[in-house]
């Protein structure tokens, strides 16, 4: 959900220069089933506009209404929303509402974390039983610095804490600049991912061809530096040129993507892997295990848009470590929440 927080910060940086107040709403606890889980956030502007969402649309109006008292007093509060008779999820949400107040130093630290793809931690201090306590959130950066997002916050043992590690924004790197690449880029951007497109220098492609992409790089496979591709990045190789695809795969040897998708039939995948292994016979099995080809889930996709949807769905299933099935066939709750590393609890 880092991309949602990034949008909130970008909006805050704009409106605070105009002297407009904002209230940050954070889901810090959920009882029962809910549309979104802990860590969902939205920003309420003083003019009533909102950025982001913490539900499917039912809770947001209530958040805007409850935020008005925070605008007036500046003091954070807990909002309780019982959805048993109003939501399809039948759960209860506990939402921390706090006036967002950040200085330029804090904004610079957040921006630097986004650009350098560094994780940071957000702690939200709250009390479900006493709205008089000085609640709020703080950010903890890798540099060791801690910055409050609420000028009234006073962390204490009287308060509970919801802690979330915000990983770098999930990124998709697309090797190839054809029509289907543009469609995949569009869908991935709509999902909230950062997208980098690598095109041939002779392609004549530019940012105009991939309007929502974070960047478009013109590079031959042998000149591309893949060392910045980290574990919060998926890669799809779709240049429609076998020799280039082999070289792009070869370039990924120094990277650590969570997913590598290959376009084309299974036979082409085997040919690509054989060619790659000729370059690197000592290849790590873990690297090969991250390669999926043909890329995408079996949903009967035919058009470029449908193929893009199937690829994005497969990437999500790999990232979330989920076995693909219809939700009606899943036993238990839809969502799971991480409570500590390598451990999950059903909600």
The answer on 222 and 305 residing in a single domain is: yes
The answer on 208 and 158 residing in a single domain is: no
The answer on 191 and 153 residing in a single domain is: no
Distance CA 178, CA 148 (A): 46
Distance CA 332, CA 147 (A): 39
The answer on 211 and 144 residing in a single domain is: no
- Domain-ending residue, one of 166, 199, 218: 166
Distance CA 10, CA 172 (A): 21
Give the largest CA-CA distance in the chain.
68
For residue 331, being part of any structural domain is answered with no
DSSP 104-144: HHHHHHHHHHHHTT--EEEEEEE-SS-TTS--EEEEE-TTS
For residue 117, being part of any structural domain is answered with yes
The answer on 94 and 184 residing in a single domain is: no
For residue 187, being part of any structural domain is answered with yes
For residue 204, being part of any structural domain is answered with yes
Q: Is 338 helix (H, G, I), strand (E, B) or coil?
A: strand
pLDDT tens-digit map of 264-318 = 899 999 999 999 999 888 888 889 999 999 999 999 999 999 999 999 999 999 9
The answer on 128 and 70 residing in a single domain is: yes
φ, ψ of residue 269 in degrees (nearest 5): -60, -45
The answer on 80 and 48 residing in a single domain is: yes
The answer on 183 and 153 residing in a single domain is: no
Distance CA 16, CA 133 (A): 26
The answer on 155 and 233 residing in a single domain is: no
The answer on 201 and 67 residing in a single domain is: no
For residue 329, being part of any structural domain is answered with no
* Residues 142-159: b if buried by 16+ CB within 10 A, e if exposed: eeeeebbbbebbeeeeeb
**169: Cα separation from own chain's centroid:** 5
Tokens representing 39 are 């860590």
Torsion angle (degrees, nearest 10) of CA 11, 15, 17, 19? -150
Query: CB neighbours (10 Å) of residue 4?
Result: 20
pTM attached to this predicted model = 0.84
For residue 278, being part of any structural domain is answered with yes
- Domain-ending residue, one of 166, 194, 214: 166
The answer on 146 and 227 residing in a single domain is: no
- How many CA atoms within 13 Å lie on the side-chain side of 159? 23
Distance CA 250, CA 162 (A): 42
Q: Which residues, including other chains, have CB under 8 Å from residue 169's CB and lie 6 or more apart?
A: 2, 3, 6, 114, 117, 192, 193, 194, 232
Residue appearing with tokens 């801690």: 146
Task: Going residue by residue through the chain, which has 347 residues, state the pLDDT in tens, using 9 for 90 and above.
Answer: 799 999 999 999 999 999 999 999 999 998 877 778 899 999 999 999 999 999 877 789 999 999 999 999 999 999 998 876 655 556 789 999 999 999 999 999 999 999 999 999 999 999 998 888 999 999 999 989 999 998 888 888 899 999 999 999 999 999 999 999 999 999 999 999 999 999 999 998 999 999 899 999 999 998 999 998 999 999 999 999 999 999 999 999 889 999 999 998 999 999 999 999 998 888 888 899 999 999 999 999 999 999 999 999 999 999 999 888 776 776 666 554 443 333 443 33
Find the distance separating the first CA and the last CA of the chain, reported in whole Å.
18
Mean pLDDT for the chain overall: 89
Distance CA 337, CA 318 (A): 17
For residue 228, being part of any structural domain is answered with yes
For residue 198, being part of any structural domain is answered with yes
DSSP 193-255: -EEEEEE-TTS---GGGSTT-SEEEE--GGG---TT--TTEEEEE--S-HHHHHHHHHHGGG-
Torsion angle (degrees, nearest 10) of CA 111, 319, 26, 186? 60
Residue appearing with tokens 């219809």: 326
Number of domains into which the chain is organized: 2
- Domain-ending residue, one of 136, 166, 196: 166
Distance CA 73, CA 71 (A): 6
Domain of residue 262 covers: 171-319
Q: What is the CATH number of the domain that holds 181?
A: 3.40.50.720
The answer on 108 and 69 residing in a single domain is: yes
């Amino acid at each position: 959900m880092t991309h949602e927080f990034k949008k909130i910060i970008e909006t805050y940086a704009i409106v605070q220069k105009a002297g407009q107040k904002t209230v940050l709403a954070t889901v810090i606890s959920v009882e029962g089933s809910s549309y979104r889980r802990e860590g969902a956030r939205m920003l309420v502007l003083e003019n009533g506009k909102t950025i982001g969402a913490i539900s499917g649309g039912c809770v947001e109006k209530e958040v805007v209404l409850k935020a008005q008292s925070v605008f007036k007093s500046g003091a954070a509060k807990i909002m309780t929303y019982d959805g048993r008779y109003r939501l399809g999820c039948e759960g209860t949400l506990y939402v921390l509402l706090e006036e967002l107040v950040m200085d330029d130093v804090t904004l610079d630290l957040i921006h630097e974390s986004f650009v350098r793809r560094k994780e940071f931690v957000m702690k939200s201090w709250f009390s479900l039983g006493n709205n008089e306590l000085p609640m709020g959130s703080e950010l903890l950066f890798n540099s060791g610095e801690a910055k409050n997002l609420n000028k009234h916050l006073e962390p204490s043992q009287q308060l509970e804490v919801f802690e979330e590690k915000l990983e770098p924004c999930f990124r998709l790197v697309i090797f190839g600049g054809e029509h289907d690449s543009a469609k995949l880029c569009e869908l991935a951007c709509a999902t909230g991912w950062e997208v980098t497109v690598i095109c041939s220098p002779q392609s004549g492609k530019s940012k105009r061809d991939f309007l929502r992409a974070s960047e478009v790089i013109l590079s031959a496979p042998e000149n591309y530096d893949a060392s910045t591709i980290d574990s919060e990045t998926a890669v799809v190789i779709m240049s429609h040129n076998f020799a280039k695809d082999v070289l792009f795969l070869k370039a990924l040897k120094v990277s650590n993507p969570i997913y590598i998708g290959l376009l084309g039939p299974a036979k082409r995948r085997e040919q690509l892997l054989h060619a790659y292994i000729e370059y690197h016979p000592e290849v790590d099995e873990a690297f090969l295990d991250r390669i999926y080809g043909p890329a995408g889930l079996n949903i009967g996709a035919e058009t470029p848009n449908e193929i893009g949807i199937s690829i994005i769905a497969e990437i999500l299933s790999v990232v979330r470590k989920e076995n693909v099935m219809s939700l009606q066939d899943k036993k238990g709750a839809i969502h799971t929440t991480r409570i500590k590393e390598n451990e999950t609890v059903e909600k």
